[in-house]
Amino acid sequence: MKSAVLVFPGINRERDMARALKLVSGNDAAMVWHADTELPKGTDLVVVPGGFSYGDYLRCGAIAARAPVMDAVRKFAADGGLVLGVCNGFQILCESGLLPGVLMRNAGLKFICRDVHLRVERNDTPFTRGYQAGQVITVPVAHGEGNYEADEETLKRLEGEGRVLYRYCSPTGEVGEAHNINGAAASIAGIVSERGNVLGMMPHPENHVEDIMGSTDGRGLFAGLAEHLKKAA
Amino acid sequence: MTISNTPAITPELVASHGLKPDEYQRILELIGREPTLTELGIFSAMWNEHCSYKSSRIHLRGLPTKAPWVLQGPGENAGVIDIGDNQAVVFKMESHNHPSFIEPYQGATTGVGGILRDVFTMGARPIACLNALSFGAPEHPKTRRLVSGVVAGVGGYGNSFGVPTVGGQTRFHTRYDGNILVNAMAVGLADADKIFLAAASGVGMPIVYLGSKTGRDGIHGASMASAEFDDASEEKRPTVQVGDPFAEKLLLEACLEIMANDCVIAIQDMGAAGLTCSAVEMGAKGDLGVELDLDKVPTRETGMSAYEMMLSESQERMLMVLKPEKEQLAEQIFKKWGLDFAIVGYTTPTKRFVVKHGGQVMADLPIKELGDEAPLYDRPHIPSPKLPVIHAREINAPLSIADALEKLIGTPELCSKRWVWEQYDHVIGGNTVQRPGGDAAVVRVQDGPKGLALTVDVTPRYCEADPVEGGKQAVAEAYRNVTAVGGKLLAITDNLNFGNPERPEIMGQLVGCLKGISEACIALDSPIVSGNVSLYNETNGRGILPTPSIGGVGLLDDFTKSATLAFKAAGEAILLIGETKGWLGQSVYLRDVCGREEGAPPPVDLAAEKRNGDVVRGMIHAGTATAVHDVSDGGLLVALAEMAIAGGIGATLDAAPDATVPQAWWFGEDQARYVVTVPQQQLMTVLSKLKTIGVPCQQIGVTGGATLSIAGERAIEVKALATAHERWLPAYMNAAN
């Protein structure tokens, strides 16, 4: 697995992400600066990490979506390359047109940092093959604007095409408003693009990858990707 | 040399700069002429309480600041301790009280921003933040808005900057109605052999301005922070700076990058009193003069005068002395991060602080004297009167033990502060081993196995009732909280918040607390390596409770062996370590259940603290202790309830011993105590060992079940306790004002 982690000014979870990628795949990720116009040769996974790109003083992710490096990412995705966006990364992918919808302010209007339960909706994708379908995993969220919204038509398509991969749920997997921490439409925590090669999600699997730190529930996502890319190679 | 002297310096102008007539006289003697307006501004910035510590300096000198592991004590941007393997921990706590009361969001953000800069200026990457917040009574009309704004501000800055906020305190008391406290602590990690200091060296070295542009915000911020409040204080809103965590994040990365490239001779952040204070400190500490050309300073607004530039407290700025041969490389790095970079002056051999603007000399002052000759006051101080010891038998219990517990666990003082810390990103970095809500936070050091135990403590009602014992207790509680997770307290940072030092009884509180803090630091082998003093915390003549916040940093050799407070399994023996006399004076029980805020606070036996702490830490390291919690606010039963709630496991508890008053046994706040659980098969060994070494220890119950059941009392559902514990704060914050 040869990953490239994008670094926009104001991104702050790039180290967490690089550490998780290294831990699971054994390979160092390349850190790619926002002003670069090309991805390193041989990149097979692009990761857009969390943070506050350019301060997020405009709409979250809006400026990053227009950074020079994003043209290369759009091309990479158009060629079928795997792209993972987490938190601010999800917001950036939506703003850059690689994923539909937007991330609004949390319904409670406050930043939320806590462990949440996610239901893995299917496991026949590169982003979920490390889990069982229906499995409930626990990973942290840390965001102020994670309330996923899209027009009705888009939501219908996402559901119909099985593109919702992760949903907020109870510890036993029930989905409902009581467990929908940020008010997202249909409790959506993570979705993929039409071709299934671009995933955006709000929670932080990269912060739950080590047994000695108390949880490895996030590991399946990275292990699944590594497995997928090994097979593909 | 000509120095233009308009406008004229009048007594009114001097007074409006917060300088007393005798202080102005001192200036005239020092420079032998009338100062210019810019010079007057510089003096007011350097000689106010906030920057000069003129009322506290004489008493701070007595604090213990040395130990073999202390690499840098007070006097630099932050303190530094050695944790082995060339790793150093850099930390400090600082107040942003006055600005946060006037403009809570921006006051809090810039407080966090300032303390983060203090830490990364020394070459450390910040790895954790903590804070201690004191608000007015919940029913005060301003409190809800202040809590909401301050918490959002602390989170808004730390979350964006990208540092986990892992712990702290939040309290409510009517004495903070007109003067809240926002104390922010930052902890960073550096290479022990790459610590950067403020002292300039070498003549003719370029002085570089880095970071955000200078605007008119925060002019006279430090002077405002050194004055009492009155009803018109909110008009001072324009003196509150505006924080930009994005700029700070860029500044962090750029600074660490140029430090790694060996470009830096000296570095100083522009905090209180901005360009003035930073330039003077760099020169004075290096025995050099400094000449600044203000025409080179990047400004956000046009037409700024020398006076405004010298006193601006615009945030996210740094001053640096660069190695001349690395100038270009440093500039490239800063340009890459999109930050302003300008050479604004040079070091000189003259030991004078010269400021030029538009080709004119606006200030020419002796640099050492600006700092060293600042007024120093030995203000009159009288000790606080000793309060009577309240005997437990004199206190009638208005509620049953079970009812009192249910009430206490949901009071503003003791309720869960989850509403606060869930707004702080406490997991970024992937190193947070123990999150907020426990005794101390535990943060892994890089990839381990070392961990840091971090805590902020003080019990202001004890400090008010007896400053010396209260000062001791604040340090002792930090020691206990670090110990309870398995850490060894190494050093502390103190943030001394008091009222008007010109009142002898307030000065007496400061002197008393410092005496207690000193004694405790010596006894517990933990020197003070950094700190901050915030005086004049008064509104309309009413002072805050004396609040010397103590930030403790402890070390765990192996973070995987840290202990938590949650009960782990049913059937384990519950031990109480330490002596229980049933001290109700100044207890939360006496105040919140009996409605009496009175009496002498619990005395602190430092030898017992050390002995008991060593024993508990030993049990954690040996793997004997399965859950550990220190006993503090609310006493024994509240500690047990917190352990039960955290573990979702109840306990069966023995009745209070016959010789005791039950409410004093369960809710007394005797110090030096811990609750520890051990597996049954280890019980006898532990009890006999502790008996041999003379540490008071007794079994008080067994874990298990879904209730807390005290013999002879109504059983209380752990779930009900958890609900009561979590209810108050969100309900309060969601209610309409």
What mean pLDDT do residues B429-446 have? 97
User: What pLDDT is stored for residue A138 in this prediction?
Assistant: 98
Which of A62-71, A82-91, B206-215 has the lowest average pLDDT? B206-215
Tokens of B722: 């958890």
Identity of the residue in B246, B337, B560 whose CB atom sits nearest the CB atom of A52: B246
Return the residue of B nearest to A15 by Cα: B429
The residues of B assigned a catalytic role are: 50, 96
Q: What is the DSSP letter of A55?
A: G
Distance of CA B131 to the CA centre of its chain: 6
Greater model confidence, A21 or A213: A21
Tell me if B274 sits within 8 A of B310, measured CB to CB.
Answer: yes
Would you call A38 a catalytic residue per the annotation? no
Which residue in B160, B421, B429 is closest to A55 by CB distance? Answer: B160
Place B240 in a pLDDT band, splitting at 50, 70 and 90.
Answer: confident
Judged on CB neighbours under 10 Å (0-12, 13-18, 19+), B89 is buried
Q: Does B250 touch chain A (CB under 8 A)?
A: yes
% of chain A beyond a pLDDT of 70: 99
Contacts of B448 in chain A (CB under 8 A): 212
The pLDDT tens digits for B91-142 are: 999 999 999 999 999 999 999 999 999 999 999 999 999 999 999 999 999 9
* CA–CA gap between residue B121 and residue B92 (Å, rounded): 12
Half-sphere exposure of B38 (CA within 13 A, CB side): 24
Q: How far apart are CA B334 and CA B253, in angstroms?
A: 9
By C-alpha distance, the chain B residue nearest A88 is: B160
B206 to each of B176, B322, B337, B351, how far by Cα in Å? 46, 6, 21, 16
Q: Is the pLDDT of residue B236 over 70?
A: no
What pLDDT is recorded for position B273? 79
Task: Quick: pLDDT tens for A159-218.
Answer: 999 999 999 999 999 999 999 999 999 999 999 999 999 999 999 999 999 998 889 999
Cβ pair A114:B246 closer than 8 A: no
| Residue B706 pLDDT class (50, 70, 90 cuts) | very high
Cβ contact B601:B470 at 8 Å: yes
Residue B319: which pLDDT band, with cuts at 50, 70 and 90? very high
Question: How far is the C-alpha of B7 from the C-alpha of B89, rounded, in Å?
Answer: 48
Percent of chain B with pLDDT over 70: 96
CA A128/CA A5 separation, integer angstroms? 20
What's the pLDDT tens digit per position in A97-117?
Answer: 999 999 999 999 999 999 999
Is the pLDDT assigned to residue B1 strictly greater than 60? Answer: no
Question: What is the spatial distance between Cα A29 and Cα A92, in angstroms, rounded to a whole number?
Answer: 20
Measured over the CA atoms of residue B398, residue B399, residue B400 and residue B406, the dihedral's sign is negative
pTM of the shown model: 0.96
- In 3D space, the residue among B724, B619, B627 whose CA is nearest the CA of residue B676 turns out to be B627
- In this prediction, residue B271 has a pLDDT band, given cuts at 50, 70 and 90, of confident
* Closest Cβ–Cβ partner in B152, B159, B430 for A16: B430
Cβ separation B444–A56 shorter than 8 A: no
Q: Inter-chain contact B161–A55, Cβ cutoff 8 Å?
A: no
Given the structure tokens 């102005």, which residue do they identify? B24
The DSSP annotation for B23-56 comes to HHHHHHHHHSSPPPHHHHHHHHHHHSHHHH-TTT
Closest by Cβ to B249, choosing from A12, A19, A207? A12
A111 touches chain B (CB under 8 A): yes
pLDDT of residue B725 exceeding 90, the answer is: yes
B638-696: pLDDT as tens digits: 999 999 999 999 999 999 999 999 999 999 999 999 999 999 999 999 999 999 999 99
Looking only at the bridges linking them, the beta strands covering B79-82 and B87-95 are antiparallel
Q: Is the Cβ–Cβ distance between B122 and B191 less than 8 Å? A: no
B155 touches chain A (CB under 8 A): yes
> Cβ B425–A113 below 8 Å, yes or no?
yes
A212 touches chain B (CB under 8 A): yes
Distances (CA, A) of B20 to B14, B16, B44: 8, 10, 10
Task: Fill in the DSSP letter of residue A127.
Answer: T
Residue identified by tokens 């007394």 is B668
Options A87, A117, A121, A208, the catalytic residue: A87
Q: Which 161-180 residues of chain B touch chain A by CB within 8 A?
A: 161-162
**Active-site residue, selected from the candidate residues A34, A204, A208, A228:** A204
pLDDT tens-digit map of A142-173 = 999 999 999 999 999 999 999 999 999 999 99
Q: What is residue B234's predicted lDDT score, i.e. its pLDDT?
A: 59
Q: What is the mean pLDDT of chain B?
A: 94
Q: What is the pLDDT of residues B11-56, one digit of tens each?
A: 988 998 889 999 999 999 999 999 999 999 999 999 988 888 999 9
Closest-CA residue of B relative to A143 is B425
Give the mean pLDDT of B164-190.
97
Query: pLDDT tens digits, residue range B85-104?
Result: 999 999 999 999 999 999 99
C-beta separation of B292 from B332 below 8 A: no
Name the minimum distance, in Å, from the CA of B453 to any CA of chain A. Answer: 15
Question: Would you state the structure tokens that stand for residue B351, as one six-digit string?
Answer: 């030991």
How confident is the model at residue B86, as a pLDDT? 98
Chain A residue nearest residue B446, CA to CA? A19
Q: Is A24 helix (H, G, I), strand (E, B) or coil?
A: helix
- A9-47 burial, b at 16+ Cβ within 10 Å, e below that, comes to bbbbbbbbbbbbbebbbeeebbbbebeeeebeeebbbbb
Question: Is the per-residue pLDDT at B373 higher than 60?
Answer: yes
Instruction: Write down the ipTM of this complex.
Output: 0.97
Per-residue confidence (pLDDT) for residue A231, from 0 to 100 = 74
Q: What percent of chain B has pLDDT over 90?
A: 89
C-beta atoms of B428 and A142 within 8 A? yes
In b/e form, how buried is each residue of B381-407, taking b as 16+ CB within 10 angstroms? Answer: beebeeeeebebeebebeeebbebbbb
